[in-house]
Copies of this chain bind each other. A is one copy, B any other.
Amino acid sequence: MNKNLPSINNKHRINTQQLDMPPRLLLGPGPSNAHPRVLQALSMRQVGHLDPRFIHLMNEIQSLLRYAWQTDNQLTIPVSGTGSAAMEASLANTIEPGDTVLIAINGYFGHRLADMAARYGANVHTIEKSWGEVFHPDELKTALEKHRPAILGLVHAETSTGARQPLEGIGELCRNYDCLLLVDTVTSLGGVPLFIDAWQIDIAYSGSQKCLSCPPGLAPLTLGPRAVEKLNRRRTKVANWYLDMSMLSKYWGSERTYHHTAPINMNYALREALRLVAEEGLEARWERHQANAELLWAGLEELGLACHVTDKSLRLPSLTTVRVPDGVDAKQVAARLLHDYNIEIAGGFGPLAGKIWRIGLMGFNSRAENVMLLLTALKSVLYGR
């Protein structure tokens, strides 16, 4: 070793214990608990990111993602980041500076879409509703007529409010206005009925850690033919190298050109999560999520608690928002559930801070025993019985 090197600073060489984590039941807005088979797959021995065996696995992931999303889109891949990275990829690739983008905001993630779109030079317009409401197609039509955007951004499953935005007919509407339809499906993919092709959605993204029951770290993205055409027509480079689909699609396509080192083990895990979706079947999975959500809603009502989204048909089965009764400290209840019973639920934020709890029943966690345990624990914390 070179003797002229500086001396070593040991200040940050801290002592740490062997990793151990409490057995949390994650019933918040995500991450949800990974399926045990997914955690097993995660720690499989590694191969290289250009290994023929890994390339075969990439193809499987793409097929299984197409099934989960009900799409034939060729460009359907997991982005090497969390859901927010796929959200950003969906905008970075399709927006060119000066494009008009319309975002329908009825919760936090709509605001985030608007913030991101502006960073890519879009001329952003928004229409807003209260957190917990959804948009009627006529309202969207009026806004499309007025702003004539290149892209309309909608949130299918607003994780901040628990509302499900109906999507039927909106794809056709967007086509009439020569506009791409971009949809946030982070909290719906794999848990809530969703048909990318039949509903004519051009751009969608999701996360791995919600209804797919995989750890966070990969984020599905799909671009339909009209979105790919816009990407191919770009006059400017995508302003984000890491998420540039014109390059990434060559790694995930037949060329297999190196772009960045894929997160190997996370891809193992996502494949297993998607296999579980294919084994169960989408209809059965959606029905399970709906049935367990209805169990929860009935139990909350029995406890005298009201759901924030009053119309049952507009509630997300994957994420329920519950109004905090007057005089109850929302944070304290969540803290006691975590401390006394290892159950994680979350509070609201933004205009709903302190006013709601958010309860997730996603993927592997959408089970009757979890509903029963949560209701019993909640009863005990709220009423001491």
Contacts and interface: CB of A to CB of B under 8 A. Distances in A.
Q: How many protomers of this protein does the assembly include?
A: 2
Interface in A15-64: 16, 19-24, 26, 28, 30-31, 33-34, 39-49, 51, 53, 60, 63-64
A261 B48 contact: no
A82 B262 contact: yes
Contact of A51 (B19, B24, B198): B24
Contact of A271 (B19, B83, B209): B19
Given A16-B271, A278-B13, A83 B46 contact: no
Given A85-B81, A265-B215, A49 B63 contact: no
A1 B207 contact: no
Contacts of A268: 19, 21
A312 to B, nearest CB: 12
Interface residues of A, number: 100
A95 to B, nearest CB: 12
Contacts of A4: 168
A33 B118 CA distance: 41
A350 to B, nearest CB: 11
A46 B21 contact: yes
A241 interface: yes
Given A82-B260, A85-B81, A49 B216 contact: yes
A283 B217 contact: no
Contacts of A341: none
A207 B261 contact: yes
A275 interface: yes
A43 B42 contact: yes
3 smallest CB-CB distances across A and B, nearest first, come from: A217-B263, A6-B198, A84-B260
Interface of A: 1-2, 4-6, 8-14, 16, 19-24, 26, 28, 30-31, 33-34, 39-49, 51, 53, 60, 63-64, 66-67, 70, 72, 80-85, 88, 112, 115-116, 118-120, 168, 193, 195, 197-199, 207, 209, 215-217, 237-243, 258-266, 268-269, 271-272, 275, 278, 281-283, 286-287, 290, 338, 344, 349
